[in-house]
Amino acid sequence: MAPTRRDFLKMAGLTAAVLVLPPRLAGGADKVVTPSAAPLPLAGPGRRWAMAVEPRKCRPDCRACIDACHGVHNVPDFGNPKDDVHWIGRAPMGKVFPAETHAGLPETLRGLPVPVLCNHCINPPCVRVCPTKATFQRADGIVVMDYHRCIGCRFCMAACPYGARSMNWRDPRPFVAKLNVDFPTRTQGVVEKCNFCEERLAKGLPPACVVACPEKALTFGDLEDPRSAVRELLGRHFSLRRRPELGTEPQIYYIL
Amino acid sequence: MKLYNRGIILAGIALFLIVATFPFWYGRGKAVPPPDLKLDTAAIAALKEKLCVEPAEFMRTDHMRLLANWREGLREGQRTYTAADGRVFEIGLTGTCLKCHDNKEQFCDRCHDYTGVKPNCWSCHIVPKEVR
């Protein structure tokens, strides 16, 4: 018996409904698709290097971290602020956290020297603007430079909101106080910055500044590891990051 | 047409041609001897088997490509190089190449000068012997 007009319309409607409905509701596909949390951009296999800084522990005129870093990495000292090249430095708290500074803040806190270095952002603007991919982000989050590729355009310096980058306006080698033979210098016309001691990490050593600090004010570790010293410290204290409103996701955490 | 000061002009032209073509006829048939590369460093003498990272013929023609590959690999975290024969080397110009070839002037520079290439490796990479 040929189907009635009514039966034909029923079948046609059901078929259309099955085709239109998402597979899960229709029961067609047994693969359950859960909306997984978006992975950290470029986060590597279980590594996300970060640093917690406790400026209150710093001695007033201590330069141990700066001297250690600049000594290991052959950072030149040109002796004038115009040519200044630095990987790590110190700045008063009022300058590092201008949004957190107000008239009621005592001068002792406002002038507190705070170690400042490259923030190794999760979303680094310097990497985005680099036209030669000289600055790039590794899988473990470290933002590093391939000095072979740097053409000295200084887009990255304009992009970095933290002033973490320096230009070699002159040949830096004569201005390196004592050359460390195990690390190259830079050349005239390239930008340089902190590399989170990636060359030491490759050997299993913590960053030079962390080792040099006499007060253990710098704590380095893997944010992906819940038992790391950084996670433990950040879990116990309230911490600030520099200019988080920019969305760069800095990985240097300040406990003030 | 009259040429004034014919003698001086013709002599001048002749002198100019002689001077301008001097390098061509003076060096004709002669070849500058290829540079004498020194392999007599202490580190090489101590090697049981006198072998570079790869065979010498390959290194002679392709060391620049090898080094370029090394520095690109480093971006991906590749810190060691496995040679064709399976030996593993740490990647590094100062740390690996110059450990044996610590006589840059008699090795690198002689050939680079001869072939007229000016690699800019040394503006950043350190030659340990040149450091006081």
Residue A35 has pLDDT above 60, yes or no: no
Residues of B with Cβ-Cβ distance to A171 under 8 angstroms: 123
Please return the burial class of A37, using the count of CB atoms within 10 Å of its CB with bins 0-12, 13-18 and 19+: exposed
Residue A32 has pLDDT above 50, yes or no: no
Residue A27 has pLDDT above 60, yes or no: no
Give the model's confidence band at A46: pLDDT under 50 very low, under 70 low, under 90 confident, else very high. low
Residues of A with Cβ-Cβ distance to B95 under 8 angstroms: 182
Give the model confidence (pLDDT) of A101-141 as tens digits: 999 999 989 999 999 999 999 999 999 999 999 999 998 99
SS3 A105: coil
A181 to chain B, minimum CA–CA distance in Å? 6
Give percent of chain A with pLDDT exceeding 90: 77
> Residue B2: what residue type?
K
User: CA angle, B60 as apex, B59 and B61 as ends, to 5°?
Assistant: 95
Residue A189 has pLDDT above 70, yes or no: yes
Q: Is the CB of residue B77 less than 8 Å away from at least one CB of chain A?
A: yes
Q: Where are the domains of chain B?
A: 35-130
Predicted pLDDT at A37: 35
Predicted pLDDT at A25: 54
Option in A148, A171, A181 nearest B131 (CB): A181
Give the model confidence (pLDDT) of B56-112 as tens digits: 999 999 999 999 999 999 998 899 999 999 999 999 999 999 999 999 999 999 999
Give the model's confidence band at A24: pLDDT under 50 very low, under 70 low, under 90 confident, else very high. low
Closest CA to A214 of A105, A66, A2: A66
Give the model confidence (pLDDT) of A97-109 as tens digits: 999 999 999 998 9
When the candidates are 3.30.70.20, 3.40.50.2300, 3.40.50.10260, 3.40.50.620, the CATH number that belongs to A49-254 is 3.30.70.20
Q: Is the CB of residue B94 less than 8 Å away from at least one CB of chain A?
A: yes
* Contacts A–B by Cβ distance under 8 A: 31
Residue B28 has pLDDT above 90, yes or no: no
Mutate to test the interface with A, among B124, B127, B129, B132 (most CBs of A within 10 A): B124
Mutate to test the interface with A, among B123, B129, B130, B131 (most CBs of A within 10 A): B123
CA distance A188 to B117: 20
Predicted pLDDT at A3: 75
B66 to chain A, minimum CA–CA distance in Å? 15
Using CB atoms and an 8 Å cut-off, which of residues 53-72 of chain B contact chain A?
71
Option in A138, A147, A181 nearest B77 (CB): A138
Residues of A with Cβ-Cβ distance to B75 under 8 angstroms: 136, 146
CA distance A91 to A58: 12
Give the model confidence (pLDDT) of A156-185 as tens digits: 999 999 999 999 999 999 999 999 999 999
Residue A206 has pLDDT above 50, yes or no: yes
Q: Is the CB of residue B118 less than 8 Å away from at least one CB of chain A?
A: no
Give the residue, A140 or A26, on which the prediction is more confident. A140
SS3 A167: strand
Residues of B with Cβ-Cβ distance to A75 under 8 angstroms: none
| Residue A30 dihedral angles phi and psi, to the nearest 5° | -95, -5
Predicted pLDDT at B52: 93
The whole-chain average pLDDT of chain A stands at 89
What pTM was estimated for this model as a whole?
0.79
Give the model's confidence band at A247: pLDDT under 50 very low, under 70 low, under 90 confident, else very high. very high
A91 to chain B, minimum CA–CA distance in Å? 29
Q: Give Cα separations from A217 to A51, A243, A253, B65, B98 (angstroms).
A: 10, 21, 12, 45, 38
Closest CA to B41 of B107, B128, B126: B107
